[in-house]
Amino acid sequence: MLAMNYRGPFRVRAAQKPYPEILHPGDAIVRVTRSCICGSDLHLYHGLVPDTRVGMTFGHEFIGVVEEIGSSVQNLSVGDNVIVPFNVACGKCAFCKQGLFGNCHESNPEATAVGGIFGYSHTAGGYDGGQAEFVRVPYADVGPTIIPDWMDHDDAVLLTDVVPTGYQAAEMGGIKKGDTVVVFGAGPVGIMAAKSAWLFGAGRVIVIDHLEYRLDFVKKYAQCEAYNFRSMEDPVLFIKKTTDWFGADVCIDAVGGDAAGSALQTITGRKLMIQAGSATALHWAINSVKKGGIVSIVGVYGPTDNLVPIGNVVNKGITIRANQASVKRLLPRLIDHIQAGRLNPKEIITHRVPLEEVSDAYHIFSAKLDNCIKPILIPPSARQ
């Protein structure tokens, strides 16, 4: 079968790989009909994630058709169209039982750090991902969710990660009616966080990025304010000024370790890698939230340390909430929001690329070329 193949930082290509096999009675094999490239894949692509092995298939955002099921699978049948959450979760451990599917204790040998994630290095369990024609889905009775008949499959594929992550970012912000919410990052996740902030009752939503085309998009799509940090002397000062010097009620980091905007952070975090990615957006979030405010982090950082102003967290009494999204927990609510027309995720898809051209797709998304917001990959078997 055809699949994305990692060859080392900045080098990915499509290659022939063996068809995946059922390894456990609870597995399913899914024939992928669409997969996405995510900002999280860029951390892998840029070589920032430890133990990303050459030969791995990335891809944690995919939907498809159930092709085969293991002997113990009860909730799926061959031929079902399914949304597959990015978390590989057992459904039975103490964490899964609390709905913390992103923190499953069984699906990753490195479980103290993170639960299993499809296509996300051996740090996240070493599972091959869905930027491929077929993929093995462990714990098939837990994650995969049947795509409702009425749902557009372009919306469905965005329910595997981006929509739940943006939504959970807003949820973790504990937004109260009328709150001012600042979202750092106008990528797919930040766009969804801004859109979701209104659903939780925000009174003002401000997005910060430095890519004009994304700022233009989010302004219209999420009907919010959007500003370029390159045109500000200091983003923290800007936010303080515009909030009567109080600071924002809630700040969301939807950028993570690939952040731009500070030479010191970029050199230490992205070039020398002596910290786990550049923590520029997180720094700004902590410094521009009000005293007693909440910083919600969904941007991804590596497992080692980062340069963050922890003293300000203490002195300002800030609450920090952070996690990988627990996709399965949020799906019922998000499906309702889509059906009711309150969320329309597919509008963020800008590129539809044959899987054979996965290398170009990574380059375009990583370098933010051609006004790219969200690329989806279509395998050859899904185009017949």
Ligand X SMILES: NC(=O)c1ccc[n+]([C@@H]2O[C@H](COP(=O)([O-])OP(=O)(O)OC[C@H]3O[C@@H](n4cnc5c(N)ncnc54)[C@H](O)[C@@H]3O)[C@@H](O)[C@H]2O)c1
In the complex, what is the shortest distance from the CB of residue 101 to ligand X, in angstroms, rounded to a whole number?
10
The Cα 354–Cα 329 span in angstroms is: 31
Q: Nearer Cβ to ligand X, position 38 or 132? A: 38
Output the six-digit token pair for 224. 């919010």
Neighbour tally for 75: CB within 10 Å:
14
In the complex, what is the shortest distance from the CB of residue 180 to Zn ion, in angstroms, rounded to a whole number?
27
- By CB under 5 A, the residues from 68 to 127 that bind Zn ion are 89-90, 93, 96, 104, 106
Q: Nearer Cβ to ligand X, position 60 or 290? A: 60
- Which residues touch 384 (CB under 8 Å, ≥6 apart)? none
- Which residues touch 196 (CB under 8 Å, ≥6 apart)? 166, 167, 169, 170, 171, 343
Note whether 101 binds ligand X by CB under 6 A. no
Taking CB under 5 A as the criterion, the residue among 38, 151, 285, 331 binding Zn ion is 38
- Which residues touch 39 (CB under 8 Å, ≥6 apart)? 187, 188, 189, 256, 258, 300
Q: Nearer Cβ to ligand X, position 30 or 186? A: 186
SS3 content of the chain, % helix, strand, coil (to 5): 30, 25, 45
Taking CB under 6 A as the criterion, the residue among 119, 173, 299, 302 binding ligand X is 299
299 binds, among Zn ion, ligand X, none (CB under 5 to 8 A by kind): ligand X
The DSSP-derived string for 203-256 is SEEEEEES-HHHHHHHHHHTT-EEEEGGGSS-HHHHHHHHTTTS-EEEEEE---
376, β-bridge pairs: 36, 352
Note whether 40 binds Zn ion by CB under 5 A. yes
182 binds, among Zn ion, ligand X, none (CB under 5 to 8 A by kind): none
In the complex, what is the shortest distance from the CB of residue 265 to ligand X, in angstroms, rounded to a whole number?
8
The Cα 254–Cα 222 span in angstroms is: 15
Distances (CA, A) of 176 to 85, 144, 236, 298: 28, 32, 22, 19
Note whether 209 binds ligand X by CB under 6 A. yes
3-class secondary structure, 68: strand
Measured over the CA atoms of residue 214, residue 215, residue 217 and residue 221, the dihedral's sign is positive
Note whether 255 binds Zn ion by CB under 5 A. no
- Report the relative pairing of strands 116-117 and 87-88 from DSSP bridges: antiparallel
Is the separation of the CB atoms in 363 and 237 below 8 Å?
no
3-class secondary structure, 284: helix
Note whether 307 binds ligand X by CB under 6 A. no
Output the six-digit token pair for 374. 């969200």
| Interaction mask 211-250, ligand X, x per CB under 6 A | x--x--------------x---------------------
Taking CB under 6 A as the criterion, the residue among 34, 43, 329, 337 binding ligand X is 43
Taking CB under 6 A as the criterion, the residue among 29, 30, 32, 42 binding ligand X is 42
Q: Nearer Cβ to ligand X, position 269 or 379? A: 269
In the complex, what is the shortest distance from the CB of residue 236 to ligand X, in angstroms, rounded to a whole number?
11
Would you give the end-to-end CA distance of the chain in angstroms? 15
The Cα 238–Cα 288 span in angstroms is: 9
Taking CB under 6 A as the criterion, the residue among 85, 143, 144, 185 binding ligand X is 185
Note whether 254 binds ligand X by CB under 6 A. yes
Q: Nearer Cβ to ligand X, position 1 or 186? A: 186
Taking CB under 6 A as the criterion, the residue among 26, 187, 269, 379 binding ligand X is 187
- By CB under 5 A, the residues from 129 to 168 that bind Zn ion are 161
- By CB under 6 A, the residues from 259 to 288 that bind ligand X are 259-261, 280-281
In the complex, what is the shortest distance from the CB of residue 329 to ligand X, in angstroms, rounded to a whole number?
12
In the complex, what is the shortest distance from the CB of residue 199 to Zn ion, in angstroms, rounded to a whole number?
21
Residues engaged in binding ligand X (CB under 6 A): 38-40, 42-43, 161, 165, 184-190, 208-211, 214, 229, 254-256, 259-261, 280-281, 298-300, 324-325
Residues engaged in binding Zn ion (CB under 5 A): 38, 40, 61, 89-90, 93, 96, 104, 106, 161
